[in-house]
Structure 1
Amino acid sequence: MIPVIVVFAPTACGKTALAEDLFGKSSSFVFKGKAEVISADSQAVYKGLDIGTAKPTKEEQQEIPFHLIDVASPQEQFGLGKFLESADSLCAQIWRRKKIPLVIGGTGFYIRNFLLGSPSTPESRPEIREQIKQKLADLGKENLYAELKIVDPISAKKININDEYRICRALEIFYSCGKPLSSFSLPCELRKQYKFCTLILNRSREELYKRIDLRVEKMFEAGLAHEVEVLKKSGLTKDSPAMKAIGYSEFFIEGLSLEQIKEKIKFNSHRYAKKQYTFMRGIPEACIVDADDKEKIKQIISSFLSSVLL
């Protein structure tokens, strides 16, 4: 089994700083330099989205290696399937380098599925998959999504209209066995190929919202509005996959002033942070730790690494 440290926390909880403090070149931690980060952030994958995603700076990325940062075009849909495939491949590569994979991020949907895996569904039928791919090419994702809403409305609500992979997979399952994807239960046990140390960093809602609001203010000071204008001029629209993100989609709402956009981003970020915690409920063996309790965090990780690196 590959040992993996998984750290979940919503935006503005200090995840990047924690990774540096634990494993960065300048760290005083006994295991410094022993890990590489796999980002579990659904928007940091996109090139050009730097300020609004609070992407690790070049200096931070020199302190500790980061993966799944700037790996996709803003026009490209990078969904759960690509994340899981990439994360699994990276874990194996990092472990071969005698380092520990550190999966860290705030996209609870990604992390939950990485820990537990996807629902146990029927084996793929190549002929049906090819038919759906052809239908996608001929009719477009909008028509396939409309079809999914008819045959499996529960799954459709959970899938973004731009996530072509998951739309096709859900339709493939339905037409392979006549049962919707939503009828298959999610696994409740951790994946067997990994030995996990899972931390959920907790902050009070009041403190978390204050940190989010401060981060949004700093994003505007750093030039978020200009970054969005540059992205628009490059051809991105409100329908581009990357522009669906909080911090970017709000700029496409007509009639809002910059101040109103800023407040809208804060509001949406609060709601999103709350939603991400719900994704992480009931994860087996996860430790919920105060985000500021660095000694407790180091103690848990040190104990884990001592057991797997012996």
Structure 2
Amino acid sequence: MKKKKLIVVVGPTAIGKTAMGVALANHYDTEVISADSRQFYREMSIGTAKPDEFELAQARHHFIHSHSITEEYSAGDFERDALALLDNLFRKHDQVIVVGGSGLFVRALCEGLDDLPKAPVEVRDQLNRLFLEQGIEPLQARLKNVDPVYYEQADVQNPQRVIRALEVFEATGKPFSAFRAGKLEERPFDVITIGLNMDRTLLYDRINRRVDRMMETGLLQEVKSLKVYREKPALLTVGYAELFAYLDGQSTLEDAVDRIKQNSRRYAKRQITWFKKYGDTRWFEPTALNDIVAYIDAKTEGK
């Protein structure tokens, strides 16, 4: 009996993962799981580029608007909940689609995570405050000092990753890298990973135009409404941190928007680098639906 197939669509921000996920879900008559670490949150919509009403109507999505920003929701929580959901979905479908730009959440679902200790809330809050007050550089320097092994491996431009590693060290006195066993969990399904990419100049233009659309549709108002939650890890990210700085009087609005574009481009570059190292990913142009379907079908048939 053939294993069920988890079709994972990855790639940089603004590349068109949502549209491809919907197209594949329609082709295979199945459902979509979002593996984006911020689209869970009901209060964060514009800045996270959630699927719009039309896209949500085209295919059933899971883990969109599923949690409040007031809740802590980790990659480990997602792994547990998504595996339970897949157990149900695979009773009805031979394929399920996962769409995600968050490498850690994709890895959690497909491979499992190392068993990391949970840090006290006050440790996390202290590190978040340091980031908000002084930026990421002091945290990077601290991580390089206490855990040079992980510092060389990690995306140290991502404040959530740096803070998480420092949380573990502060809570245990042991470096984050000491807890990373690196063993893969056996899954009762096969994973087929599709990467979307395009010419870098065209991608950067898409990113810039999407940021402009976000501002036109009310991103600043969304950020203002979330100011009371600004220390939450999900808000220490591109599109939100820059506008909080503007609201604090640290920059002009024009400079904040330019920084969102710049940081989004940098984030896209890091995503591409991460996913090129991750697993057995086959890369396609974001409009190559027929080629992607042919590849998935060949993999399914064992060719």
- Give the whole-Å Cα distance in 2 for the aligned partners of 1:72 and 1:245: 18
Matched, 1:288 2:283: yes
Change (3 A) 1:184 1:118: same
Question: Corresponding residue for 1:236?
Answer: 229
- Give the whole-Å Cα distance in 2 for the aligned partners of 1:101 and 1:167: 35
- Pairwise CA distance, 1:200: 0.9
TM-score between the two structures when normalised by the length of structure 1: 0.76
Change (3 A) 1:99 1:41: same
RMSD: 3.4
Change (3 A) 1:140 1:180: closer
Matched, 1:111 2:94: no
Question: Corresponding residue for 1:13?
Answer: 15
Unaligned runs of 5+ in 1: none
- Pairwise CA distance, 1:251: 0.8
Equivalenced residue count is 281
For residues 260-285 of structure 1, what are the alpha-carbon distances to aligned partners after superposition, in whole Å with 9 as ceiling and x for unaligned?
Answer: 22111100000001111222233333
- Pairwise CA distance, 1:90: 1.9
Counterpart residue identity of residue 235, structure 2:
M
- Pairwise CA distance, 1:182: 0.8
Change (3 A) 1:90 1:171: farther
Change (3 A) 1:198 1:77: same
Q: Max radius of gyration: which structure?
A: 1
- Pairwise CA distance, 1:98: 2.8
Question: Corresponding residue for 2:41?
Answer: 46
Question: Corresponding residue for 1:205?
Answer: 200
Change (3 A) 1:20 1:141: closer
Change (3 A) 1:211 1:188: farther
Matched, 1:274 2:269: yes
Q: How does 1:1-310 map to 2 (within 5 A)?
A: 1-24=3-26, 29=27, 31=28, 33=29, 35-98=30-93, 100-119=95-114, 136=120, 139-142=122-125, 152=147, 155=150, 180-183=175-178, 187=182, 191-232=186-227, 235-237=228-230, 239-253=231-245, 254-305=249-300
- Give the whole-Å Cα distance in 1 for the aligned partners of 2:160 and 2:24: 38
Say which SS state the counterpart of residue 197 (structure 1) adopts.
strand
- Give the whole-Å Cα distance in 2 for the aligned partners of 1:224 and 1:210: 19
- Give the whole-Å Cα distance in 1 for the aligned partners of 2:148 and 2:49: 34
Change (3 A) 1:283 1:154: closer
- Give the whole-Å Cα distance in 1 for the aligned partners of 2:176 and 2:239: 31
- Give the whole-Å Cα distance in 2 for the aligned partners of 1:152 and 1:194: 35
- Pairwise CA distance, 1:303: 3.2
Change (3 A) 1:90 1:166: farther
Please tell me whether the aligned partners of residues 39 and 104 of structure 1 are also in contact (alpha carbons under 8 angstroms): yes
Change (3 A) 1:170 1:112: farther
- Give the whole-Å Cα distance in 1 for the aligned partners of 2:267 and 2:20: 21
Please tell me whether the aligned partners of residues 223 and 244 of structure 2 are also in contact (alpha carbons under 8 angstroms): no
- Give the whole-Å Cα distance in 2 for the aligned partners of 1:46 and 1:230: 14
The answer to which of 98-107 and 161-170 deviates more is 161-170
- Give the whole-Å Cα distance in 2 for the aligned partners of 1:302 and 1:161: 37
Counterpart residue identity of residue 141, structure 1:
R
Change (3 A) 1:248 1:118: same
Unaligned runs of 5+ in 2: 129-138
- Pairwise CA distance, 1:3: 1.9
For residues 30-76 of structure 1, what are the alpha-carbon distances to aligned partners after superposition, in whole Å with 9 as ceiling and x for unaligned?
Answer: x3x2x211111111111121111111122321211111111222233
- Give the whole-Å Cα distance in 1 for the aligned partners of 2:165 and 2:80: 13
